[in-house]
Amino acid sequence: MGRHINKVKTHPSDTISHMSLEHYSDLFKAFASDGFVSRSGLMRIFEESGILDDDPRAKKIIAAINKSEDKISEEAFHAIVDLSPTLFEQVLDGSLVIPHFKTFCAELTTIFDEINENRGGTLPTYIPQLERVDPDKFGFSICTVDGQRFSIGDSDEYFCVQSCSKPITYCIALEEVGESTLHQYVGREPSGKTFNDLTLNSWGLPHNPMINAGAIMCGALIKRKSPSDRFDFVMEKWKEAAGGAKIGFNNAVYLSERQTADRNFALGYFMREKKAFPPDVELLDVLEFYFQCCSIDITTKGMATIAATLANGGTCPLTGAQVFRPDHVKHCLSLMLSCGMYDFSGEFAFVVGVPAKSGVSGAVLLVVPNVCGMAIWSPRLDELGNSVRGVEFCKRIVSKFKFHAFDSMLGLRDNRIDPRRDLYEARLSGAFAFCWAAAQGDVAEMRRLVARGVSPTASDYDGRTALHLAASEAQFEALRYLLQLSKDVNPLDRWGNTPLDDAIRCGHATIVSLLKEYGAKSQSELPKDADASKV
Ligand code: GLU
């Protein structure tokens, strides 16, 4: 959809967007009846779009709508739009990244309710504090790159992020030292072992930033005057990525981590023995910092916004703040896809095909690039340390929606939902292209479209098929191709015309002969129950 926004800069820090006045009126007319726009109708559009009233971009608009008269005049409407023209236009013209958000969320709710019955898995025992969590907790949140949000279940409850901290630590370290320096100290290969396995790669370095050794190393590359300054800085980054959501710190988990971290201490000393660290690193400070990052507390709502910031190339959808560079996010998503799910990463990349990171608190952070971020929290883990319900949720999402990185290979043969496309666009785009190719006599394109799964008998909203178009436009070769493909050579359009009716009406004698060769009839020759209303 075009943007009718003339960006008027009054001074560097303040961009006021003004829509052209006629576009304000067009928007008003699209939703007005009897000269007014209904306040409740406008509120419902916002609610169903997933733009919530705590969205910093929408607060003023939603408050203004709430304070409006039940019937909003055009002048009052213009004043509301002016508060945030771009967002307002996106919500009203359905150009948010998931246009039918309410329908999409209903599908997510069905998946959530079904998975909620799953009681498989066990709580982790090696960090005592994690063993005391209610195993039945289950929360889910989503945030799109346009800031559309939805949550269900225990989405307001805080949990510790554990290894879901690793992608953020990695991105922060990239911002600090850059990709070439960072990867002199950390590899980019899956380890093929457990997340805390006492192994380094053949250069004596951690295999990748998504396992314990790699995260400890990335932490060592984030330097500040003191450990407290460093932690404050990292917490600010988390809050920025979460769009201002409250980020906590679970001191009990931190103490529990530290008391039971022999393996992590061993990894630290092993890396120091191999001289893997950069110069003048205080190993104990670095390990403490790692435990602190794992003990950051968050809700699925906050974590979904962070995932959406990654999905949005490092810019927070709710605030517009650029938290990470897009190229750094690209590196992070690559490593989440190849290494994010422990030893299940290969299978996860094959089946789900979406960058993800899990944590032993039962958290899963999922990133659908340029679409949305999701967060799932359910504490019971499988034998590889991933949340049972979390992994199941991810599998169900990609079995329902075209989110897998390589789904585009399936073309139109794929009947799953692409929530990014208009409900009707996906269905019509193939049919429209096929009919257009037939009308042009472009048999090569027709063959390509059939190969991609477009049905040769697909019709538009008037029941006009490629057969009708080829007959009307006297496209002999296209018609012959269609007649060989089609079982029904007498489809009826909305007005009861068959392709033969069209050819006769247009006076195409050779087309009439060809159609009759294949048994085509005009409507008058068809049995009386042939009904155009079946279109
Ligand atoms: N703090 C945990 C550890 O170091 C993190 C493990 C995880 O979530 O994968 O073992």
pLDDT recorded at residue 13: 29
Pocket test for ligand 1, best of 160, 212, 344 (most atoms within 8 A of CB): 212
Please identify, by atom number, the ligand 1 atom nearest to the C-alpha of residue 264: 4
Rounded CA-CA distance 152/140 in Å is: 5
pTM of the model: 0.81
What does the buried/exposed string (b/e) look like for 81-98 if buried means 16 or more CB atoms within 10 Å of the residue's CB? bbbbbebbbbbbbeebbb
Centre of ligand 1 from the C-alpha of residue 189, in Å: 19
Is 377 in contact with 300 (CB distance < 8 Å)?
Answer: yes
Is 368 in contact with 354 (CB distance < 8 Å)?
Answer: yes
pLDDT tens per residue, range 158-215: 999 999 999 999 999 999 999 999 999 999 999 988 899 999 999 999 999 999 999 9
pLDDT recorded at residue 106: 97
The percentage of residues in the chain with a pLDDT greater than 90, rounded to a whole number, is: 78
Centre of ligand 1 from the C-alpha of residue 293, in Å: 10
Residues 379-385, mean pLDDT to the nearest whole number: 95
196 pocket-lining for ligand 1 (C-beta < 6 Å): yes
pLDDT recorded at residue 3: 39
HSE toward the beta carbon, residue 319, CA cutoff 13 A = 15
pLDDT recorded at residue 18: 56
Annotated catalytic residue 424: no
Annotated catalytic residue 155: no
Centre of ligand 1 from the C-alpha of residue 294, in Å: 7
Centre of ligand 1 from the C-alpha of residue 195, in Å: 7
β-partners of residue 150 are 142
The set of residues, in sequence order, having a beta carbon less than 8 Å from that of 385 and lying 6+ positions away, is 124, 194, 195, 342, 358, 360
pLDDT tens per residue, range 240-268: 999 999 999 999 999 999 999 999 999 99
pLDDT recorded at residue 426: 55
290 pocket-lining for ligand 1 (C-beta < 6 Å): no
pLDDT recorded at residue 235: 97
How does strand 71-72 pair with strand 363-368?
A: unpaired
Residues 384-393, mean pLDDT to the nearest whole number: 96
Centre of ligand 1 from the C-alpha of residue 499, in Å: 67
pLDDT recorded at residue 447: 81
Annotated catalytic residue 163: yes
pLDDT tens per residue, range 493-518: 999 999 999 999 999 999 999 999 99
Rounded CA-CA distance 439/300 in Å is: 51
Rounded CA-CA distance 165/293 in Å is: 6
pLDDT recorded at residue 93: 81
162 pocket-lining for ligand 1 (C-beta < 6 Å): yes
- Convert 103-138 into a string of H (helix), E (strand) and C (coil): HHHHHHHHHHHHHCCCCCCECCCCCHHHHHCCCCCC
Burial status of residue 30 (CB atoms within 10 A of its CB: 0-12, 13-18, 19 or more): exposed
Is 164 in contact with 357 (CB distance < 8 Å)?
Answer: yes
Question: Has residue 451 got a pLDDT over 90?
Answer: no
Q: In which order are the strands placed within the sheet that holds 149-153?
A: 149-153, 139-144, 372-377, 363-368, 356-359
Q: CA nearest 303: which of 236, 245, 237?
A: 245
Nearest CA to ligand 1 atom 2: 162
Give the CATH number of domain 12-92; options: 3.40.50, 1.10.1060, 1.10.238, 3.30.70: 1.10.238
Question: Has residue 429 got a pLDDT over 90?
Answer: no
Residues 98-103, mean pLDDT to the nearest whole number: 93
CATH class of 104-400: alpha beta
Rounded CA-CA distance 450/31 in Å is: 39
Question: Long-range contacts for 255-259 (Cβ within 8 Å, ≥24 apart)?
Answer: 255/129, 256/127, 256/128, 256/129, 256/130, 257/127, 257/129, 257/291, 257/294, 257/295, 258/288, 258/291, 259/128
Residues 16-45, mean pLDDT to the nearest whole number: 82
Rounded CA-CA distance 396/140 in Å is: 13
Q: Among 145, 161, 166, 443, which one carries the catalytic annotation?
A: 166
195 pocket-lining for ligand 1 (C-beta < 6 Å): yes
For residue 9, what is the enclosing H or E element?
A: strand 5-11
Centre of ligand 1 from the C-alpha of residue 363, in Å: 11
Question: Has residue 457 got a pLDDT over 50?
Answer: yes
Residue whose tokens read 């996106």 = 90
Q: Among 145, 360, 454, 512, which one carries the catalytic annotation?
A: 360
pLDDT recorded at residue 424: 58
Annotated catalytic residue 360: yes
Centre of ligand 1 from the C-alpha of residue 359, in Å: 7
Question: Has residue 360 got a pLDDT over 90?
Answer: yes
Question: What is the distance between the terminal CA atoms of the chain, rounded to a whole angstrom?
Answer: 30
For residue 232, what is the enclosing H or E element?
A: helix 227-241
Please identify, by atom number, the ligand 1 atom nearest to the C-alpha of residue 215: 4
pLDDT tens per residue, range 395-411: 999 999 999 999 988 87
Q: Among 84, 163, 338, 358, which one carries the catalytic annotation?
A: 163
Please identify, by atom number, the ligand 1 atom nearest to the C-alpha of residue 291: 1
Q: Do 12-92 and 104-400 agree at the fold level?
A: no
Please identify, by atom number, the ligand 1 atom nearest to the C-alpha of residue 164: 8
What does the buried/exposed string (b/e) look like for 381-414 if buried means 16 or more CB atoms within 10 Å of the residue's CB? bbebbbbbbbbbbbebbbebbbbbbeeeeeebeb
pLDDT recorded at residue 530: 59
Is 74 in contact with 25 (CB distance < 8 Å)?
Answer: yes
DSSP secondary structure of 186-210: S--S--SS-TT-S---TTSS-S-TT
pLDDT recorded at residue 411: 73
How does strand 372-377 pair with strand 14-19?
A: unpaired
Pocket test for ligand 1, best of 163, 295, 303 (most atoms within 8 A of CB): 163
- Convert 146-158 into a string of H (helix), E (strand) and C (coil): CCCEEEEECCCCC
Q: CA nearest 289: which of 229, 207, 357, 336?
A: 229
208 pocket-lining for ligand 1 (C-beta < 6 Å): no
Centre of ligand 1 from the C-alpha of residue 234, in Å: 18
Pocket test for ligand 1, best of 217, 253, 360, 384 (most atoms within 8 A of CB): 360
Tokens (6 digits) for 89: 């236009």
Nearest CA to ligand 1 atom 4: 212
Please identify, by atom number, the ligand 1 atom nearest to the C-alpha of residue 295: 1
pLDDT recorded at residue 408: 83
Reported confidence tier of residue 2, pLDDT bands at 50, 70, 90: very low
Annotated catalytic residue 290: yes
Question: Has residue 454 got a pLDDT over 70?
Answer: yes
pLDDT: is 361 or 2 the higher one?
Answer: 361
The set of residues, in sequence order, having a beta carbon less than 8 Å from that of 268 and lying 6+ positions away, is 216, 283, 286, 287
Residue type, 472: S
| 124-128, 134-138, 376-380: segment of lowest average pLDDT | 124-128
Question: Has residue 36 got a pLDDT over 80?
Answer: yes
The set of residues, in sequence order, having a beta carbon less than 8 Å from that of 93 and lying 6+ positions away, is 1, 27, 30
Q: CA nearest 298: which of 362, 389, 345?
A: 362
Rounded CA-CA distance 138/122 in Å is: 14
Centre of ligand 1 from the C-alpha of residue 163, in Å: 5
Arithmetic mean of pLDDT over the chain = 91
Every domain of the chain and the residues it spans? 12-92, 104-400, 430-534
CATH number for region 430-534: 1.25.40.20
Centre of ligand 1 from the C-alpha of residue 325, in Å: 26
Measuring CA to CA, how many Å separate 497 from each of 441, 490, 515? 21, 9, 14
Is 207 in contact with 187 (CB distance < 8 Å)?
Answer: yes
Rounded CA-CA distance 265/287 in Å is: 7
pLDDT recorded at residue 533: 46
257 pocket-lining for ligand 1 (C-beta < 6 Å): yes
163 pocket-lining for ligand 1 (C-beta < 6 Å): yes
pLDDT tens per residue, range 289-328: 999 999 999 999 999 999 999 999 999 999 999 999 999 9
